[in-house]
Structure 1
């Protein structure tokens, strides 16, 4: 397939490669490698820049699951940047408000923000640069200005009246002089810049590099940042999707009690490859369960744009998503049968459910003989019937919602996230999927200049299910960075924004690459799709079954065969599915490495660089 046209070249080099969802973050991370930083320094610098240039998709008050390979330690590790529910966040509290779901926007759905301390933990333990140097690019862009991509403007436009009428702290940040900013104009975030700069300056008095980073984390979790969050979330009463003005549950004590933690990743084999993902507090095992099924279904015999390829992967996704709903949760608080879910016997049994026709039912399995527990899937419709949806839903939205009936018939709004991958010349590898703290979903904290995560909306109020809300428990997130070994050696870091689609788009990408020999850019550019089967992860958790949304570039014969097999096919835009970034490493000459990178052209923001 070497002559296949691609939207851009697959980047190749030996010094270093970066791919991310924004060209500025990719260039900043590459500049760190050029100046002697390692992959960890570069990823952290790029991650902080993403908080500035993609504020509709992530922020310092969001979360950041991270997977990485340390060449010095010769191991893969996961770093959990997903904070837990506050101590006051109890199912009974929300039910006492007459709610069946945690709201999707406002103050109530906040959990402990994890992104800032996750990035600093990675920098402290694996980076080499000073905190001030790593944060300097983000501070400069926030102070001096950055181009405001059209999607940021669309997000601000959608909630401009909410900001003007109900969320004045957000209006001060995002509506300068009371006006929606212009697309592609330079935009400044002076309050955020002051917050960043104060954290750095307050930490400078500490005696060592490590102590300075720890002092910065203390400023965040226990110092002036936590105090500002506490005051706002105690005192403010702001409108949300309940239609009422509500206060928040997050407190300084919640932030002070939590720090990011390292974990061993969970893995699944596929031929010569081993894929690593974060645990069942994330969506990551959905990818692994699909691989377990698909390795028994002969995908190498089906072209990557054929009915056989698309149908098999779509059906495996339906089964894995049903298991996610039935079995996934924070393993500290829930008995998740992960070993059984990832076993080959279970994968074979699940693969046997995939036939020539599309599945229409939600079919969780019975790992280790256990019976599945599902939440009441009538809750979303009841919630929507009472909700105030004028200003959007749980995931970032870019326009006013249609009438409830139209919303239920077809989910027409898509939020997003960010992603960054880095590999350096020594072979260190980082994949991170930062998200949350969306400007349109929660009000900016006065004096800090950023919003907080609303990830608590992904918890159920049904106390019988493993995705239930509990104080101190991590909500089950969709965020899912990936790392793959080949023949036991580190090979690829990859990931994508996309909520429930993350571990669908990347599965097809991975299989196009490893089964059909497509290079990274070809595998990203190829026509893509996703299924909606079960409840969405985001408020109001709209339920759909057997819906397969496919890019219009897919061959007509494939679309017709999918319809004939019973799929409810929705044909989307030609470049509408996927936001994937990826980097790989292989042995090179004289003991060095050959590095490659590719990025998504959809949305005209993602970019890969390297040399």
Structure 2
């Protein structure tokens, strides 16, 4: 079966990330005796430098981890709304949506503290060691990739006229960088060098230095610069200049924290996700809705289950169009429930037990018919009536998803950026497994170079995750001081027979758990390779996404009934989907998803890894 690359296998350690330099920075840590958590932190800080259009230190970082012999935990690196960020404050500014860019959309930065907490509690290396690669690439430069250059060029005018601190960092010599040339960020390198000097002066011990770094971020020179910068009005996607209500008390009052994951048992597998403050349970709901139907469908069509007599991958079977239809319709139902029930701001927690129950999903499953639905159909778990935001119940309330310049094809996994800085952002991903059996999956995001002006002297901007909240009271995802916005960030970890064996995830905003569901089912339904999972085959398989729900990114538009597929799904599948009523858009052959994955076999000790070839940027390494 053709794949773009082999599924890597070995016994020492494996890393997969969305940029080859981050993967190699993590692998270097493993090679010198560090564990998966040390390696993930090194990769995370490297991604801030080499994918600055996709994440930054003041962004967000949900992490899911399985320490060897320990329980699976979620480390929440998603910061909340500042205490002054009330609905009344925003509507008093004449806004009906939180802007997609600028200081006003900032949450309390979460990524830095999450990485520090992971390193302190589960790592073994020093703060200096895990920052080494990031400092080196920021100080001496790294060969910049094409998407960074395109993104910077798209906001060049904004940088030159409004966000001049960003121009100083990202327009070296007064122009956008050219692919392949060395791009430096000396301010960021200087920030980390000063942080290290102050942290090491504060304590001779590893843990003490990490805690000192966390204090410096909140209330030292970094915290002071963040708060002062937030108070300066800056142009945002509303076309006006606004400041953020972020204060020093907001920074000191929040810390990354551990939580139990949301779980769903699928045969011998248990899939673990962040809770419904993320969109993570969407993957679990899709599995609950589908049950054994995908495998039964392909078996009936002669494809067999994975490892069967014919051993065909789903896309090679006669039932492939019906398989796609089934997955698309289940995705619509799960995403509709996301709109009605997910969030951190509701009066009661999201009813996950009901949403994942067999009784509820049997009733929901019956809604999947032979024809495509263009309706947003949330359910009523436990008899509770759903409540939707105005944009969800009225698709015409806001504009469609923003792509004014056609910078990227829809679903390509990179942000699209307007001249005034309006953007649909994206993210990064990293998975690591080590020889001791530690597994970690992280989806760092936010704080994009195109999201907000660079903080002078620090070399990075604030994030804009508040754009994922509604300015309507009483919703699970309403803007609420001290509460997390419902993020799209959604790393995954799966157990088989009770043992952690698989970590995976992808950038892609609202598409993340659509692409991950397709990957996970494809992995279960395709023949393995060399006795292990065919990670690369499942990543390379033709992918798709649907848009029948309000987008999480400003301006929160929806496209009822629309589906985008890679051209590789084939004419027969496209014709059948259209016959069933799907509004199909055909994208490029390699445009849907940026998946990463690592795996381990607890019995043999064999480790595996694979990375997405789309965009020519993600890489897996290992031995």
| TM category, shorter | over 0.9
Q: 1:556 to 1:165 in 2, by over 3 A?
A: same
Name the residue aligned to 2:68. 71
Structure 1 residue 298: Cα displacement: 3.9
- 1:537 matched to 2:547? The reply is no
Per the alignment, residue 531 of structure 2 pairs with: none
Residues 314-333 of structure 1 aligned to structure 2 (within 5 Å):
314-330=328-344
Residue 256 in structure 1 maps to residue 271 in structure 2: no
Q: Deviations over 1:548-597 (max 9, x none)?
A: 110001121111111111111111000010100000000354xxx11000
The answer to whether the Cα contact below 8 Å between 2:158 and 2:419 also exists between their aligned partners in 1 is no
| Shift in Å, 1:335 | 2.8
1:352 aligns to 2:366 (yes or no) = yes
Which residue matches 1:431?
Answer: 441
SS at match of 1:545: coil
Higher deviation after alignment, 237-246 or 101-110: 237-246
The Cα of 1:149 is off from its aligned counterpart by: 0.3
Alignment equivalent of 2:538, drawn from 523, 532, 537:
523
Match of 2:586 among 563, 571, 579: 571
Residues 1:29 and 2:30 aligned together: no
SS in 2 for 1:43: helix
Shift of 1:144: 0.7
Deviation of the 1:253 alpha carbon: 1.3
User: Counterparts in 2 of 1:172-211, with a 5 A limit?
Assistant: 172-205=168-201, 206-211=203-208
* 1:541/1:21 CA distance change after superposition, 3 Å: same
1:39 aligns to 2:54 (yes or no): no
Match of 2:270 among 265, 268, 274: 274
- 3-state DSSP class of the match of 1:68? strand
Q: Equivalents in 2 of 1:162, 1:414: separation in Å? A: 16
* Partner of residue 554, structure 1: 569
Q: 1:173 to 1:379 in 2, by over 3 A?
A: farther
1:222 positional shift: 1.4
Structure-1 residue corresponding to 2:381: 367
Q: CA offset at residue 243 of structure 1?
A: 1.3
Tell me the alpha carbon deviations over residues 398-441 of structure 1, each in whole angstroms, 9 at most, x when there is no partner.
45479xxxx9xxxxx86421000000000000000000000011
- Deviations 1:207-259, CA, capped at 9 Å, x for gaps: 3211110000000011111100111112x221111211111221121111100
Counterpart Cα distance in 2 of 1:475 and 1:392? 27
Distance 1:514 1:440 in 2: 38
Provide the TM-score with structure 2 as the length reference: 0.92
Match of 1:336 in 2: 350
Question: Mapping of 1:6-17 within 5 angstroms?
Answer: 6-17=3-14
Correspondent of 2:473 among 457, 463, 480: 463
Match of 1:444 in 2: 454
SS of structure 1 residue aligned to 2:52: coil
Relative distance call for 1:578 and 1:159 in structure 2 (3 A) is: same
Unaligned residue ranges in structure 2 (runs of 5+): 304-313, 529-533
1:186-223 C-alpha deviation (Å, 9 max, x unpaired): 11100000111111111002132111100000000111
Name stretches of at least 5 consecutive residues in structure 1 with no aligned partner. 408-412
1:498 has 2:508 as partner: yes
Match of 2:210 in 1: 213
Q: Is the 8 A contact 2:20 2:619 kept in 1?
A: yes
Give CA deviations for 1:138-174 in whole Å, capped at 9, x if unaligned.
1011001101101000010010000100111111111
Q: Conserved in 2, the CA contact under 8 Å of 1:63 and 1:115?
A: yes
Instruction: Measure the CA separation in 2 of the matches of 1:60 and 1:227.
Output: 15
Partner of residue 507, structure 1: 517
Tell me, in whole angstroms, the C-alpha distance in 1 between the residues paired with 2:482 and 2:424. Answer: 29
1:428–1:318 Cα change, 3 Å:
same
What secondary structure does 1:584 align onto?
A: strand
Q: Name the Cα RMSD after superposition.
A: 2.1
- Corresponding residue for 1:585? 600
Task: Provide the residue aligned with 1:410 in structure 2.
Answer: none
- Structure 1 equivalent of residue 612 of structure 2: 600
Aligned length: 592
